[in-house]
Structure 1
């Protein structure tokens, strides 16, 4: 492989040239379900494989002794991990953060020792191009459940460009993926901030308890445990009270209603009465509109992915700022919920018949509704009230008659809406940017890899990128 040559080869030839390997992870007989532990060495499974990174959400772990026993399956920086079955076309690059983790059951590991001819960044970029992903899918074994093996991976065609082009492609690949990951992390932080504020103000009533404690007002017995927990927080060295002007918007006492205690001047009302559930929206048959299916709803956060357009032929209809809530098992238990931020004003879209559409009203802002849909007590109530045969249970609209929410004064609702809406706006901007970055990554880089474009065609972009 020369510095100025385009070289056609296969993954297997590359691996053999540099003394690497393509190997499977441990089989089930080597690592049983009972062997996984709550704390230990992470084991990368197919569900953890993402193009941009290894997803650590709910990652499995093994003991130190098992990790030592299965040392031959350890991961090292620069390795590439594939799934052996299912979504076999995607692969993830191992960074220094995942060094010494385990290549788990159901995975394959590609390892090429460090050399001057090919970088792991370029190789991962090449294996992630649409052409290569299609090749892997086409050669996988099995129609209903595609399976991958070492022989198939070794036969993957690889084209290695001249050194400068390879370095540039690898650097751009990493740069774009890191920005996508950063935007995702920003969104996760904003989502957590939204949920934390919602719980503090409308579930735990922290500002009201603070005011009551400060003026010496009694705390109802039903709320004593919350007050005790709050007092511990107040006594901590890093406690920061709300600004005085914000605290002044909250009452300093509670009042009892038929359904329980609520901050004085607030209302306790059922979801059915306070929020618009499955609002009526017109969308004529066969009208081409944006469509969201169940797999597009996230299990965490709010960002809806893979929105397409197709003629309307039935399904849940929704508009901008609505919240989509999965009503069927196991989607509800898995957390499927999304916020509609991709439509224009008054534009109507549609989706799965298994969506419940939740819309804000004049007294309950849409940001409150979105946070409520992610609140643990609300989700538990919906899950416990599912009806139907095993495996096909659904939430009925009637379950919202018996779940009550605290509705604050308009001034508090407006303050909450202002804060959380700004978080949602930022999340939307990050999502839009990620779509652009993904499109750039998945269209421009393959053209560079194939030779359709050269560095001379992209002087500005090339000058902005340092070698990986």
Structure 2
């Protein structure tokens, strides 16, 4: 690192605050200019950002700075350290310090990775009583070390290639999930599953559209396919298992080492965000609480004003392969086992539809300010359509390889992320060269699988 430069960030980049136009002026909103908040970065969790939840108009630009494509966006409060790179001209709210680099000296992708490594340092530089904030002047004085521009670009390329592989897998997973969700809606919401009729010309055609018999159900107050039942959710469930938190370290009878899935980990388990469950130690006698293939995990306590409790994840053989230890859910969650394994994916997509439609908000209580899902009341009182076994089985057989491939992609992403996170500090500390890193990357590479959307 003897030939690395050492500068204050303000000497080699321009730093701009963001702002929020008056929300009382309708002329400032719903225009064609992208407006980014820290929540957009948290939700999207991608290196590049091209859109946010809201937009502003040209009139609003008098109160803020239009940032050029390639600007490094750094959240400076609540929380400090979220990062992204603008992939188009845009603006941000006041929760950012936006960095426009001198491209003759500093590469924006290199800076992105450098600041990502220094997140804790940046957080410690924040000040404030209500919440910590990183000021513009403090960031301008923040000193960074960096090599010559070609080396910066080479380092950024190695790390970017890893991120690109991860994002490709994420894209494949989104498309696979969309396929499964579309089929669920088609079969179990529109009731256009393959008609099992043996009548001439009807077999295999979309049931409802081809004239399949529909029967009015007085409990649901709508028509359902003939022969389908209406059941409470509890009638699908064979048993449930409470979670466990155990101990942080091995002590006494707490000898069984496990990975503990919390409510915060459920999205990551499903492939939507980071997954960093803690390692815990539980009583050996509590091994009956360990998660098994086809188990489901429901968040019982948590949520927020805009997010209900009741997030759901499920376990497959491929899920278990992503972890070195046996899995258990925390005591803020509950594990479920269904009576019939072949109803797993029908249950999952039906539960998620209820969750997405806000149904579970109506089944929450509060204890000491924490929202709790009234699980027993919900599953014993809420009723849903219960399809015939052969239709659920066909759906299971369709979705199982999709979910298997998704979990394999997530396992590969986990390995790629670990490699990237190992390389990042090694690069920034000058402990590994680009050539050495490329050799490591080639050793870790697997034969690529071409994916074609069906």
Interval of TM-score (by shorter of Structure 1 and Structure 2): 0.7 to 0.9
Is the 8 Å Cα contact of residues 243 and 334 (structure 2) preserved in structure 1? no
Q: 2:350 aligns with which of 372, 378, 381?
A: 372
Match of residue 265 from structure 1:
227
Task: Flag the 1:327–1:450 CA change in 2: closer, same or farther, 3 A.
Answer: same
* Secondary structure of residue in 1 paired with 2:122: helix
| Alpha-carbon distance in 1 for matches of 2:228, 2:24 | 49
C-alpha displacement of 1:328: 4.1
Is the 8 Å Cα contact of residues 233 and 382 (structure 2) preserved in structure 1? yes
| Alpha-carbon distance in 1 for matches of 2:362, 2:243 | 29
Is the 8 Å Cα contact of residues 251 and 265 (structure 1) preserved in structure 2? no
| Alpha-carbon distance in 1 for matches of 2:91, 2:427 | 33
Task: Flag the 1:185–1:414 CA change in 2: closer, same or farther, 3 A.
Answer: same
Q: 1:159 aligns with which of 145, 154, 167?
A: 145
1:24 is the counterpart of 2:17: yes
Cα displacement string for residues 210-234 of structure 1 (whole angstroms, at most 9, x for unaligned residues): 989x989xxxxxxxxxxxxxxxxxx
Match of residue 116 from structure 2:
128
1:450 is the counterpart of 2:444: no
Is the 8 Å Cα contact of residues 290 and 328 (structure 2) preserved in structure 1? yes
| Alpha-carbon distance in 2 for matches of 1:419, 1:425 | 11
Q: 1:44 aligns with which of 36, 41, 45?
A: 36
1:404 is the counterpart of 2:383: yes
Is the 8 Å Cα contact of residues 37 and 52 (structure 2) preserved in structure 1? no
Match of residue 94 from structure 2:
105
C-alpha displacement of 1:434: 1.6
C-alpha displacement of 1:452: 0.6
Of 372-381 and 163-172, deviating more is 372-381
Paired residues in the alignment total: 418
C-alpha displacement of 1:111: 0.7
C-alpha displacement of 1:104: 1.8
| Alpha-carbon distance in 1 for matches of 2:162, 2:59 | 38
| Alpha-carbon distance in 2 for matches of 1:277, 1:204 | 30
Scaled by the length of structure 2, the TM-score of the pair is: 0.78
Q: In the TM superposition, what are the counterparts of 1:216-255 in structure 2 within 5 Å?
A: 245=204, 252-255=212-215
* Secondary structure of residue in 2 paired with 1:169: helix
* Secondary structure of residue in 1 paired with 2:186: helix
Gap runs ≥5 in structure 1? 16-20, 217-243
C-alpha displacement of 1:61: 2.0
Is the 8 Å Cα contact of residues 194 and 423 (structure 1) preserved in structure 2? yes
| Alpha-carbon distance in 2 for matches of 1:24, 1:369 | 47
C-alpha displacement of 1:332: 8.7
Task: Flag the 1:382–1:148 CA change in 2: closer, same or farther, 3 A.
Answer: same
| Alpha-carbon distance in 2 for matches of 1:82, 1:288 | 37
Q: In the TM superposition, what are the counterparts of 1:271-350 in structure 2 within 5 Å?
A: 271-276=233-238, 278-279=240-241, 286=254, 287-298=256-267, 303=272, 305-312=275-282, 318-328=291-301, 330-331=303-304, 333-334=306-307, 336-341=311-316, 342-343=319-320, 349-350=327-328
Q: 1:168 aligns with which of 151, 154, 171?
A: 154
Match of residue 412 from structure 2:
433
Match of residue 81 from structure 1:
73
C-alpha displacement of 1:293: 2.2
C-alpha displacement of 1:427: 1.6
Task: Flag the 1:408–1:251 CA change in 2: closer, same or farther, 3 A.
Answer: farther
Task: Flag the 1:106–1:283 CA change in 2: closer, same or farther, 3 A.
Answer: closer
Is the 8 Å Cα contact of residues 242 and 331 (structure 2) preserved in structure 1? no
Per residue, is there more strand in 1 or in 2?
Answer: 2
| Alpha-carbon distance in 1 for matches of 2:361, 2:50 | 26
Of 328-337 and 437-446, deviating more is 328-337
Is the 8 Å Cα contact of residues 281 and 348 (structure 1) preserved in structure 2? no
Gap runs ≥5 in structure 2? 247-252, 444-454
Match of residue 227 from structure 1:
none
Match of residue 12 from structure 1:
10
C-alpha displacement of 1:318: 3.9
Is the 8 Å Cα contact of residues 67 and 90 (structure 2) preserved in structure 1? yes
| Alpha-carbon distance in 2 for matches of 1:332, 1:339 | 25
Cα displacement string for residues 303-326 of structure 1 (whole angstroms, at most 9, x for unaligned residues): 571122112389x86434333333
Name segments (4+ residues, structure 1) moved above 6 Å. Answer: 208-212, 248-251, 280-285, 461-464
C-alpha displacement of 1:451: 1.1
Is the 8 Å Cα contact of residues 268 and 404 (structure 1) preserved in structure 2? yes
Is the 8 Å Cα contact of residues 271 and 405 (structure 1) preserved in structure 2? yes
| Alpha-carbon distance in 1 for matches of 2:429, 2:38 | 28
C-alpha displacement of 1:208: 6.9
* Secondary structure of residue in 1 paired with 2:157: helix
| Alpha-carbon distance in 2 for matches of 1:255, 1:246 | 19
Q: 1:196 aligns with which of 141, 163, 182?
A: 182
Task: Flag the 1:147–1:277 CA change in 2: closer, same or farther, 3 A.
Answer: farther
Is the 8 Å Cα contact of residues 278 and 357 (structure 1) preserved in structure 2? yes
